[in-house]
Amino acid sequence: MEDGVPDLPGQLVAPLRGTITRVQFQCWVGLNNLAIELHGSDEDLELLNVAEVRLAEYTSASIDAAELLDALQTDPHVAGKFVSSASTGYGI
């Protein structure tokens, strides 16, 4: 967490790598979304929106677990974060 903003890109990599479950990630988003909304940059807010929309699709059974991970990995907002965070150890 830097300057009060939770590390959403770092957290987002974890379920894609399989180091935390989707449920753990969903709980983390729920606990940290207000801090991201209040203190995050425009990019943080876009990434949070992508994550929340995809999680909502998953929990409503519109997409399955594999589609959720694929949707997150291929979303331009998410993919851009992985490319830019690869140098900090978060790349996949």
pLDDT value, residue 91: 39
In a domain, 79, yes or no: yes
In 3D space, the residue among 62, 40, 61, 63 whose CA is nearest the CA of residue 11 turns out to be 40
> Do the domain assignments include residue 28?
yes
Asked, for residue 92, whether it belongs to a domain, the answer is: no
Domain-embedded: residue 90: no
Least confident of 47-56, 66-75, 79-88: 79-88
Q: How far apart are CA 90 and CA 15, in angstroms?
A: 12
Domain range enclosing 67:
8-84
Residue 67 lies inside a defined structural domain of this protein:
yes
Total number of domains in the chain: 1
- What does pTM read for this prediction? 0.75
* Mean pLDDT of all residues in 17-42: 92
